[in-house]
Amino acid sequence: MRTAEQVVNEINSARGDGDEQGLRNTAALLELLRAWPECPVIHVAGTNGKGSVCAMLSSVLTAAGYRTGLYTSPFLQIYGERVRINGTPLSEAQLAGYGSDVLDAADRLHAEKGYGFVPFELGTALSFHAFRQEKTEIIVSETGLGGRLDPTNVIPEPAVCAITAIGMDHMQLLGNTLAAIAGEKAGIIKPGVPVICYPPGTAEVRQVFENTAEAKHAPLNILTPEQVRIRESGPYGTTADFICCHKTWNGVKISLPGEHQVLNALVVLAVLEELEKKGIRIPEEAVYHGLENTFWPGRLEWHGRILMDGAHNAQGVSAFTAFAGACLQGEKKILLTGVLKEKLSDEMLSMLAGAADEAVTVTPDSPRAMKAEDLCSLLREKGMKASAANNLKEGLEKAETLAGEDGMILATGSLYFIGSLRSELGLKP
């Protein structure tokens, strides 16, 4: 049997071409491993917010007493974060055992049928294999990219589907318009399966959801901001009232900071209503407790005078800068940032340049990373005072010096960068 490190290295180094036309590869792995889920699956797609929705759902369902599997990507610090049971990442022993099973199955399918796998197909099979072996009672699964051809879409009949906020991201794969991207996300909609949609930002996105749901005869619930009333919002969370289809929730405390999280929480509450219709009982106290105690690392996470957020596209950076601007009015702010080359749009760059008094740039730990010097130059072109660091440790030290005792460090850009920063700060996964 491989070690956990060997499993991760072998998954990440997989160079097959994948099944680009469908879900054959992932289905073949699940079939060989006998890893098809025997419990209800909640399937979540979207550009931004899907990780937060999944984390909230997992927290609530765990509080309700269900043995809950959670599959998300990417990880921040350790691969096991992608596959959690009751909020706890897979141990090295679990990763080694279940990962070896998956890689052995992949080797067999390659030898017998010529199938060549990509890392996300292997990771998805690993998650469902682990959940089956660990006897989870309900699974929350986040798409990796898109939806229609995403390996997680292999599940033929989820209990509920949810689609979060749609924005411009991964355009080279999903399309150059919001409608095209929404169409790929809507690919998770299944015949007869209820689907919950975050309030669409445009009429064209709404139309895509309505047309797809109608074609699939899927019950559709498109949510609206009017279903939420914020009572109180601060640096560490929000309290709000919600009006869902069949229930009003008063004084719900949401531990994930940022007013944008209230609409994600609305998606969660609507999903829970659909589960109740299917006989999956969730006590009211578990809902309140789960939402109040959700922890999602690297997403508007405070560590002393450092605010970290893996805002990796324009929509995410907009939410981050709005939150920081509202919470830290009048305070000195230093931006510590590192981004991936393909993610940095001019809109995102402009928002980063206006987020703080000065910036320190670093190079994230990724082959797709933009060099710190290049990002520094681009920020300077936008009129921001900026300097590049040779490495993350040096960058953090520079930012701390610039912030002084009273200033704040705003750390954002890439999730790879945020993961490395959490490790540098000694924070556990």
Letter for the amino acid at 204?
E
State percent of the chain over pLDDT 90.
Answer: 88
pLDDT at position 146: 85
Q: What class does CATH assign to 301-424?
A: alpha beta
pLDDT tens-digit series, residues 296-317: 999 999 999 999 999 878 888 9
pLDDT tens-digit series, residues 349-382: 999 999 999 999 999 988 889 999 999 999 999 9
pLDDT at position 176: 66
Across the range 246-261, mean pLDDT stands at 95
Q: Does the pLDDT value for residue 170 go beyond 70?
A: no
pLDDT tens-digit series, residues 50-95: 999 999 999 999 999 999 999 999 999 999 999 999 999 999 999 9
pLDDT at position 377: 98
Across the range 96-123, mean pLDDT stands at 97
CB atoms within 10 A of CB 339: 31
pLDDT at position 403: 97
User: Strand order in 333-338's β-sheet?
Assistant: 301-303, 306-309, 408-413, 333-338, 358-361, 386-388
Q: Does the pLDDT value for residue 24 go beyond 80?
A: yes
Q: Does the pLDDT value for residue 386 go beyond 70?
A: yes
Q: Does the pLDDT value for residue 320 go beyond 80?
A: yes
Maximum alpha-carbon separation in the chain: 65
Q: Which residue has the higher pLDDT, 172 or 183?
A: 183
| Multiple choice CATH, 4-292, 3.40.1190.10, 3.30.70.260, 3.40.50.720, 1.10.150.530 | 3.40.1190.10
Q: What is the 3-state secondary structure (H, E, C) of 5-69?
A: HHHHHHHHCCCCCCCCCCCHHHHHHHHHHCCCCCCCEEEEECCECHHHHHHHHHHHHHHCCCCEE
Of 25-29, 98-102, 113-117, 178-182, least confident by mean pLDDT is 178-182
The closest alpha carbon to 151, from 76, 73, 242, 240, belongs to: 73
Stated pTM of the model: 0.94
Q: Does the pLDDT value for residue 175 go beyond 80?
A: no
Q: Does the pLDDT value for residue 290 go beyond 80?
A: yes
Q: Does the pLDDT value for residue 173 go beyond 80?
A: no
Q: Where are the domains of the chain?
A: 4-292, 301-424
pLDDT at position 174: 59
Q: Does the pLDDT value for residue 97 go beyond 70?
A: yes
pLDDT at position 78: 97
Letter for the amino acid at 97?
G
pLDDT at position 245: 82
The residues, ordered by sequence, that sit 6+ positions from 159 with a Cβ below 8 Å of its Cβ are: 40, 41, 42, 138, 193, 274, 275, 278, 280
Phi, psi of 283 (to 5 degrees): -60, 145
pLDDT at position 172: 52
Across the range 162-187, mean pLDDT stands at 80
- Average pLDDT over the chain reads 95
Q: Does the pLDDT value for residue 171 go beyond 70?
A: no
